[in-house]
Amino acid sequence: MDQSYAADVCMEPMFWFVDNFTYAIGPLFVVAVIGLTSSVVFIAYWIGLPYWWQRNPYLCVILVIIGHWLLLNISFHYYKAVITPPGYPPQGELITEAVSICKKCIAPKPPRTHHCSVCNRCILKMDHHCPWLNNCVGYKNHRYFFMYMVYMVLGVIFVIVCGFDIAYSAIMLAGDDPDEPELEGHPVKFNKTGALIPVTDVLYIDTPVVDDDFNENYEPNNPWKKRAIIYMALINSGVLVALGVLSIWHSRLIGKGETSIEANINKTETQRLAEIGRIYINPYNFGNKKNWRIFLGLVKGRNLYQHVLLPSAHEPVGDGLTWHTIHDEDADEWP
């Protein structure tokens, strides 16, 4: 009865809940992602599009093109991440480079393969089980998962930048008390008693002139539009922080040629070998540039423009069962 065993016993109910209910409620998370994304797109069409069209039609066309490019990539990569199996070891076939036997599957485990307790099977190059995808992130769909996060972060930044003026006008410049009488259309001044006196015979040269058609179409004081803008601000801010941090973290892992699970393993091995005066080297770390090329599948003539900036369903490098390492003789030439 040591501290580690006691901690495992205390955490067992949580592990049981995760294993048994995460997969069951996964579809609800997928529906939530689709619903939240659709609501943001709807509000952008409802409020943002008329605003920018009235402001500058030519700029509006450019923003629509950029927005739809981001939306296309977000939708494509999320869809592929959800429906693409992460990759499983073949059943009943000889695995030439098995590194161990899975105690739960009672089957050989290829390198970089780990058992997912939620899916209840081994996953090739497993990174983690994502409830928002209702799927494991592994060898075949890791790129889709990462690209979805990157494009979602870019999309959120795009919406925040384009909607900043709208949000500022609707939230910051809006009156706090709806029952307070407004002196619309009349400049005012203070007399010695502090009272407001309308001034009708003074014309201010720097008073902005707003088009009546613009006010009629935009309706910045519409209470439903104001609520929608606040909703957009909260959703986009939360997604930007959450997925922004996650994207940065995964970018660092990709640059080092490791997954989330391997990051913990490599950290433990580094500490263990350091105690005996040795240095641990990740066998799958070919350097930042090469690691990114392998992860994005930019081999065999594939390029950044067609296979990263545009939706692409190309297969990852290799077969997920055997992996090149820095110790291979042709490591410098591969891939």
Q: Nearest CA to 188 among 202, 176, 177?
A: 202
Expressed as residue numbers, the domain containing 300 is 34-86+140-174+221-334
What are the tens digits of pLDDT across the range 188-201? 555 555 555 555 54
Instruction: State the sign of the Cα–Cα–Cα–Cα dihedral 299, 304, 306, 307.
Output: positive
Buried b / exposed e along 114-146 (16+ C-beta atoms within 10 A):
bbbbbbebbbbbbbbbbbbbbbbbbbbbbbbbb
Domain contains 247: yes
Contact 108, 94 (CB under 8 A): no
For residues 275 and 308, give the distance between their C-alpha atoms in angstroms, rounded to a whole number: 42
Q: Is 116 a catalytic residue?
A: no
What are the tens digits of pLDDT across the range 89-119? 998 777 878 888 998 888 899 999 999 988 8
Q: Nearest CA to 85 among 35, 28, 126?
A: 126
Rounded average pLDDT over 299-327: 93
Contact 335, 97 (CB under 8 A): no
Query: How buried is residue 175: exposed, middle or buried, by Cβ count under 10 Å (0-12/13-18/19+)?
Result: exposed
The DSSP call for residue 70 is H
The DSSP call for residue 48 is I
What are the tens digits of pLDDT across the range 125-176? 999 999 999 999 999 999 999 999 999 999 999 999 999 998 888 777 655 4
For residues 321 and 232, give the distance between their C-alpha atoms in angstroms, rounded to a whole number: 44
Catalytic one of 60, 116, 130, 162? 130
For residues 174 and 250, give the distance between their C-alpha atoms in angstroms, rounded to a whole number: 40
Domain contains 147: yes
Unique residue bearing structure tokens 């930044």: 157
Provide the number of structural domains found in the chain. 1
Count each helix (H run) and each strand (E run) in the chain, helices first: 9, 8
Domain contains 277: yes
For residues 135 and 129, give the distance between their C-alpha atoms in angstroms, rounded to a whole number: 6
Grouping H, G, I as helix, E, B as strand and the rest as coil, residue 120 is coil
* β pairing state of 135-137 and 128-130: antiparallel
Element (H, E) at 291: helix 288-296
Domain contains 153: yes
Percent of the chain with pLDDT over 90: 64
pLDDT at 224: 87
Domain contains 22: no
Q: Nearest CA to 150 among 86, 75, 74, 233?
A: 74
Domain contains 231: yes
What region, left, alpha or beta, does residue 114 occupy, with left being phi > 0 and alpha being psi -120 to 50 degrees? Answer: beta
Domain contains 78: yes
Chain centroid to CA 266: how far?
Answer: 25
Predicted structure pTM score: 0.82
pLDDT at 300: 86
Domain contains 306: yes
